[in-house]
Amino acid sequence: MARSFRYESSIEAVARSSWYTGGRLKANPLTASLASDYDAFDAKLTTVAAAEQSLNRTRVIAQGAVDGAWQGLQPFPGALSKKILALTKNKRNVPLYQLFFDKDTPSRIGSRSLALQVATMKPWVVHLKASSEPVLQACGTELDGLITTGESALASLEAVDESIKAFRNYGDRAILYDTFNGLNKSTGGKLDKMPSDNKSLHLPVTFARGFFEPDGRSDAPEEKPRTSLDVQADINRNVAEKTKLDAELKTVQAAEAAEAANEAALAAKRQKAADLKASAAAAAAQAKQLEEELDHGQA
């Protein structure tokens, strides 16, 4: 029997099914007249397939722009951190540094998705541009451009995703699928009547079935049994990916450890400075008391 295609089915599957049925119809003189409907459908399919390819191309371009914008923003938090620390003499517990990195580290902010990068860093632009430090003003101008690029890339990707969704669910592609399902149903009905309408030909009752590509062949090519080489190839790919992720993990952990060690060293110095100030104050008070006793001739 003719199968019905869901919107999730690939347009290649619909095309293959249409071509198959059209070819089968043309091969039989009794059914050749029905093939013209599939030729007409093929012309519509070609137009819709070109539109889908154009949308897919646009989405790939949009994704490339998103990835490029992410790469542009990724190093900014680390670079900004270094410039602020140069101004604060490596002090992180000061308002200027905590304004940007109070709740998270530069490396973590930079590793987030583009949408989260933009959401986190966009508020920084106003503070940086309002700074009295020229180096931070320049950072504000740079970040403003990076944020604008990122927002534009995200908006383009969202727009094309919406266009693809509409195209597939209720646009030209959905209409094409509905048309093809209706054509198959109509053709199947005509073929089902042929055995009874042409009794002298002794057609089998399953006559219609052979004109439609069997289920399981339209949505995807027939899968071959996996071999040991296929399994080994998957293992090799996973090992390579794990090696890459392990290296990235070590890099991030090293950066976080270095930052934590630096913060601990600064905290120790701050404590030592406080202790020295307290000792100095106590010594000064003791010296003052001794001077007063000497002034009064007390032993």
**Would residue 81 count as lying in a domain?**
no
Using an 8 Å Cβ cutoff, are 76 and 146 in contact?
yes
What would the pLDDT profile of 230-249 be if each residue is shown by its tens digit?
Answer: 666 666 667 667 777 777 78
The tokens describing 151, both together, are 């927002």
Mean pLDDT, rounded, for 269-292? 84
What is the pLDDT at residue 219? 44
Determine whether 153 is exposed, middle or buried from the number of CB atoms within 10 Å of its CB (0-12, 13-18, 19+): buried
Using an 8 Å Cβ cutoff, are 211 and 37 in contact?
no
The model's confidence at residue 5, banded by pLDDT at 50, 70 and 90, is very high
Whose structure tokens read 């399981």? 216
| Per-chain mean pLDDT for the chain | 88
What would the pLDDT profile of 209-231 be if each residue is shown by its tens digit?
Answer: 989 988 654 444 434 555 665 66
The tokens describing 28, both together, are 């039989």
Instruction: Tell me the residue range of the domain where 55 lies.
Output: 11-74+111-220
**Would residue 243 count as lying in a domain?**
no
What is the pLDDT at residue 47? 96
Q: How many domains does the chain have?
A: 1
**Would residue 23 count as lying in a domain?**
yes
What would the pLDDT profile of 31-55 be if each residue is shown by its tens digit?
Answer: 999 999 999 999 999 999 999 999 9
Mean pLDDT, rounded, for 66-81? 96
DSSP state of 217: S
**Would residue 18 count as lying in a domain?**
yes
Whose structure tokens read 């504000």? 140
Mapping DSSP to helix (H, G, I), strand (E, B) and coil, where does residue 89 land?
Answer: coil
Distance CA 132, CA 231 (A): 61
The tokens describing 243, both together, are 């090696």
What is the pLDDT at residue 261? 82
What is the pLDDT at residue 224? 52
Using an 8 Å Cβ cutoff, are 263 and 106 in contact?
no
What would the pLDDT profile of 109-122 be if each residue is shown by its tens digit?
Answer: 999 999 999 999 99
pTM of this structure: 0.65
Determine whether 81 is exposed, middle or buried from the number of CB atoms within 10 Å of its CB (0-12, 13-18, 19+): buried
What is the pLDDT at residue 73? 96
What is the pLDDT at residue 222? 37
Determine whether 41 is exposed, middle or buried from the number of CB atoms within 10 Å of its CB (0-12, 13-18, 19+): buried
**Would residue 84 count as lying in a domain?**
no
Residue type, 37: D
**Would residue 245 count as lying in a domain?**
no
Residues composing the chain: 299
**Would residue 210 count as lying in a domain?**
yes
